[in-house]
Amino acid sequence: MSLIRDLTDEEARAALVLKWGETEPGVLPAWVAEMDYAIAEPITSALRDAVDRGEVGYPAFVRSGGKLGEAYAGFALRHFEADVPPDRVLPTADVTVGVRIALEVLSERAPMVLPLPAYDPQHGLGRITGREQWDLPVEPDADRYVVDLDELDRLFARGARTLLLTQPHNPAGHVHTREELEGIRDVVVRHGARVVSDEIHAPLVLPGAEFVSYLSLEGTADHAVAVVAASKAFNIPGLKCAQIVTGDDATRDRLVEIPMAQNDSWGSLGVVAAVAAYTEGDPWLAALVERLDQQRMLLGRLLTENLPQARMRPLEATYMAWLDLRAYGHDDPAEVLLRGGVRVSPGQAYWPGLGGHVRLNIATSPERLTEIVRRMAAALTGGRGGGDDGGASGAPPA
C-alpha cells in the first residue's frame, strides 16, 4: 500500500486552510502549491514529541551546521550526490525570505534579472530590496524552458548584477540540465555577477530528469547560494524553516554576521519537522514521486481526451502543470475556470500581461484530477457541467 494518503474533502478543508479554506465550497482548489495528501508519519511523530516535551520556545542560534545542517547534508548526498558541508547550511524562515536575504546581503544594489514566467512572490523581491527587476522572458511556446544566454549576457553588460534562478522551475516544470546550468554560469562568471538559486523543488524531480544544484558546478562557490527547504516536498510550508546553503565559508560568515532582525524568524517546530523529513522521510518521498508521476501521466491522458488543444509543457519536476489554453480563446482562462468550478492560478501572476495560460496543481487524488479536467473542458468549451453539481469532488478511495 502506498504511503501517500489522500485527504478527504473534509480533511483537506481542515488541514489546508489556504488552498481549500479560501476556496468557495463546491469549487475544486488546484491553485496554491500545497498537496491534498496527509503529511508523512515520521514528521507528525516528531512534531507530537516536540510538543509533548514543550519544544516550542525560540530555536537554537545556528551559526553553522547543527542538527539541521547535518540532516540536510545527508539528504543532499543521498538524493543529489551533492557534497554539502553541514556547516555551510544556515536556517531561515522560508525560501522567499532566504532569497531576499541573499539579495540584500550578498548582491550589489543593481538590477536583478528574473526569467519569466516566475513564481509570483519573486516579482516583489527587486522592489523590496531596492533593486530594479529586469525581466528575461523565456519563449512560452518553446518546447524547452531555456534561458537565452545572449540576452542574459546583454542584461549583465547593461548593468544587472544578479540572476534569480529557479531550479527546478515553478511554474515551467523544467529541470535545468548540467549543460544548461554551465552555460548560465559561464555568462555570470564573465560579468563577475551573482546567482541566487531557489532550489525548493529539488526533491520533486520526477522520473526522467535529474536534479543538479547550481552550487554543485565548478566555479560557482564564490558567487552563488542555493535556498532549499523540506517544506514543498513534504507539504509543511506553514512550519517556517528553510535553509540557505553557501558555497564557501566567507559567504556563510557574511550571512551569519547580519543583524539578528534581518533573519530571526524560523520556527522551532519547523526545525524539528525539517530534520525528520530529511532523515526519515525517504520512503514517503519515494511514494510521493511515484504518485506525482502517475498524476502527470493521468493529466496527459485527460487533456488528450477532454482538451486536445491545450498545450502542456513537459512536467519534469514539481506538481504544477503550466498550461497554454490560448486555443480556447479566453484571455483569462483562470477566471472562466473558476466560474466552472475549478480554481487554478492565472498565468498573469507569473508573467504579467501574458494571456491564455494557467498553472494547474495536480497533487490531489486521481478522482479529483479527473473531475477537475472534466470541469475545465466544460467551462472552456461552453459544454455542460462544471461546478453546478453541488460540489461533489469524487471522494478519494478510503
Ligand X SMILES: Cc1ncc(COP(=O)(O)O)c(C=O)c1O
Phi, psi of 29 (to 5 degrees): -85, 120
C-alpha cell at 34: 500545497
Are the C-beta atoms of residues 157 and 111 closer than 8 Å to each other?
no
Q: Which CB, 8 or 268, lies closer to ligand X?
A: 268
CB of 170 to ligand X, least distance (A): 4
- Beta-strand pair 320-324/357-361: antiparallel
The number of residues that bind ligand X (CB under 6 A) is 14
- 371: contact with ligand X by CB under 6 A: no
Of 94-102, 144-152, 206-214, 303-311, the window that binds ligand X (rule: CB under 6 A) is 94-102
Give the residue at shortest CB distance from ligand X.
94
Q: Site for ligand X (CB under 6 A): which residue of 6, 9, 198, 371?
A: 198
DSSP result, 236-296 = -GGG--EEEEESSHHHHHHHHTS-GGGS----HHHHHHHHHHHHH-HHHHHHHHHHHHHHH
For ligand X, which residue of 242, 277, 288, 358 counts as binding (CB under 6 A)?
A: 242
| The only residue of 71, 95, 206, 236 in contact with ligand X, by rule CB under 6 A | 95
Q: What mask of x and - would describe binding to ligand X in positions 199 to 218, judged by CB under 6 A?
A: -x------------------
CB of residue 223 vs ligand X: minimum separation in angstroms?
A: 20
The smaller minimum CB distance to ligand X, of residues 196 and 379, is found at: 196
Choose among 79, 77, 71, 131: nearest CA to 102.
131
Evaluate the omega torsion of the peptide bond into residue 117 and state whether it is cis, within 30 degrees of 0: yes
Joined grid coordinates for residue 77? 548526498
Question: Could you say which residues in the range 113-132 bind ligand X, by CB under 6 A?
Answer: 119
Least separation in angstroms between CB 121 and ligand X: 7
Alpha-carbon torsion angle 387, 392, 396, 398, nearest 10 = 170
Minimum CB–partner distance for residue 95 and ligand X (Å): 3
Output the smallest distance, CB 240 to ligand X, in A: 8
Contact assessment for residue 347 and residue 356, using Cβ atoms and an 8 Å cutoff: yes
| Least distance to ligand X, CB of residue 304, Å | 27
Distance (Å, whole) CA 36 – CA 184? 35
Choose the stretch contacting ligand X; rule: CB under 6 A; options: 6-14, 49-57, 91-99, 298-306: 91-99
> Judged by CB, which is closer to ligand X: 232, or 375?
232
Strand partners, 324: 311, 357
- Closest contact distance (angstroms) between CB of 231 and ligand X is 5
Q: In this complex, which beta carbon is closest to ligand X, that of residue 307 or of residue 349? A: 349
Cα separation, 343 vs 366, whole angstroms: 17
C-beta closer to ligand X: residue 114 or 152: 114
94 versus 371: smaller Cβ distance to ligand X: 94
- Interacting residues with ligand X between 142 and 171 (CB under 6 A): 166, 170
Sign of CA dihedral 254, 251, 154, 127: negative
Cell numbers that stand for 75 in this block: 539528504
* Beta strand segments in the chain, E: 28-29, 89-92, 112-116, 133-137, 162-166, 194-198, 224-229, 242-246, 311-312, 320-324, 342-343, 345-346, 357-361
Q: How far is the CB of 238 from ligand X (least distance, A)?
A: 9
Site string for ligand X, 7-46 (x = CB under 6 A): --------------------------x-------------
By beta-carbon proximity to ligand X, the closer residue of 123 and 291 is: 123
Q: Please list every residue from 216 through 235 that binds ligand X, using CB under 6 A.
A: 229, 231-232
* Pairing verdict, β 342-343 and 28-29: parallel
Dist. CA 251–CA 88, nearest whole Å: 9
CB nearer to ligand X: give 117 or 247. Answer: 117
Binding site for ligand X (CB under 6 A): 33, 94-96, 119, 166, 170, 198, 200, 229, 231-232, 237, 242
